[in-house]
Amino acid sequence: ECKDLIQRARTAFQTGRTLAESFRLAQLEALVQMLEEHQCDFVDALGRDLHKPRFETIMSELILVKNEALYATDNLRKWMQPQRVERNLATSLDECLVASEPLGLVLIVGSWCSPVQLCLVPLVGAVAAGNCAIISPSECSAHTAELLHRLIPFYLDNECFHVILAGTNDLPEIVDLKFDHVFFTGSREEGRRVAQAAARTITPVTLVLGSKNPCYVDRDCEVSVAAQRIAWARFHNAGQSLVAPDYVLCHADVEARLVQALKCCVMQFYGSDPAESRSYGRLVNLELFNRTKDLLWRSGKVAAGGQVIEAEKYIEAPTILTGVTETDPIMQKDALGPVLPVMAVNSLDAAIAFINKHEKPLCVYAYSSNSKVVSRLMNETSSGSFCSNDSILQSLMVALPFGGVGASGMGSFHGRRSFDTFSHGKSCLLRSTRFECLTYLRYPPYEDRNLSLMTWASALSHKSQGWCHIL
């Protein structure tokens, strides 16, 4: 079935139907229409998969995708225009430009933690760039995957865009079928397998991978505000987020106040019994539940939460751990669950050293009223993205490219960057056959006189980039 869909999509691309601006705009508008007309269906599907509150589904899934699609619609004509580049002496009468052309057929593999957003936001970029696409939602969020499989054929072009329901173990075999680009979001282990499969066919990849995202809380900050923003970011969607803070490096002077403030946020957000709260979700499956429970019970000391209900895949939100050490299991593995370890550090230098000792994360967060502290964390650590005095928002903004670096991935997306990710920037030099009286200098037989003239011409401009200016 997958081979057949790939062949249909390739055939459709070769007809050139995706190249027209009108086609791309129509597909983007249809995508927005699908989200608007089936909002209740998406809320229901995500509720079944993740017990995701309606508020979170609409705000962090549906509105985010619509914003991307509308932004692309508003800017598509400008993005499609060739970009002219600076000319030099030799090309002063020519045109030098970079033309964006679609890559062809792309594979988009979404993650279960944000199953609508992480499938459709990349799809917006692929559509805007003029590609055909195969979308593979995660099998873990089965209801959402089936909804996308059912709806997309009714709204998007039936030959150019397809949804396949495949398991994680099938991904390397699917990638082997050869695409022009693979966009993957998920765990490092799965991303590594996808990248290895793509390498066999020399297929470029974009990887957005899970990581241990550090959050530093300085002694010079509004502790109550920091606690609210950290708690919201860590525990929304029951902690199942690639971009949430994974652990807090807290200055020892404010550790006790921060932990108490976090406890207060738990009560404020979810009430005395979070299991009954309509604002709190559940873990996606028993495998993740058991993994999170194991990490929780083998690490630190529970300061709040910690109760579990296995039948409901429920871990009380939030679970705050104190007394955590670097060697605890919760600090060694990605924890996609509602558990927040808090570690005390004695200085900013210690926090920076701790962050830099580990793999480059997808996000680094810093809470401080001191701009010098924020500046040091931003400049002296490396991460896919950075945000001060808030969390997650940098990954939601259309105008900010988002992606990983090092172990947290490669490539980026959102807004114009999504368009560029799914495009090839083709360098174009449009020349005439005039002025052969100058270009003849490059031809054999080589003469010292000609070399002298070319050297002189290249030196005319202090911006000279080398011999190509006269060649």
Phi-psi map region of 35: left, alpha, beta (phi>0 left; psi -120 to 50 alpha) = alpha
Compute the average pLDDT of residues 367-388. 97
Indicate if the pLDDT at residue 16 is higher than 70: yes
Residues 246 and 342: their CA atoms lie apart, in Å, by: 10
Query: Tell me: the pLDDT tens digits for 33-42?
Result: 999 999 999 9
Structure confidence by residue, pLDDT tens digits, 59-80: 999 999 999 999 999 999 999 9
**Regarding predicted confidence, which is higher, 317 or 141?**
141
pLDDT for res 95? 82
Question: Tens of pLDDT along 412-426?
Answer: 999 999 999 999 999
Span 1-210+412-424: which CATH code?
3.40.605.10
Each residue's pLDDT tens digit, 134-143: 999 999 999 9
Q: Residue 359's pLDDT is what?
A: 94
If phi > 0 it is left, if psi is from -120 to 50 it is alpha, else beta; for residue 104 that is left
In the numeric block, the tokens 């929304």 are attached to 236
| Two tokens, residue 396 | 């939601």
Structure tokens at 68: 């991307």
- Residue 313: the pLDDT is 57
Average pLDDT, stretch 219-244? 94
Average confidence (pLDDT) over 257-264: 95
Q: What residues contact residue 279 under an 8 Å CB cut-off, 6+ apart?
A: 53, 55, 269, 270
Residue 315 has pLDDT above 70, yes or no: no
CATH superfamily of 214-403: Aldehyde Dehydrogenase; Chain A, domain 2 (3.40.309.10)
pLDDT class of 129 with cuts at 50, 70, 90: very high
Residues of the chain with CATH 3.40.309.10: 214-403
CA distance 362 to 294: 24
DSSP category for residue 89: S
- Which pLDDT score is estimated for 88? 66
The pTM score is 0.92
**What local confidence, expressed as pLDDT, does residue 151 receive?**
97
Q: With cut-offs at 50, 70 and 90, classify the pLDDT of residue 9.
A: very high
**pLDDT 10s digits, 431-442:** 877 767 667 788
Q: Give the pLDDT band of residue 452 (cuts 50, 70, 90).
A: confident
Where along the chain do the CATH 3.40.605.10 domains lie?
1-210+412-424
Q: Which of 294, 284, 51 is nearest to 187 (CA)?
A: 284
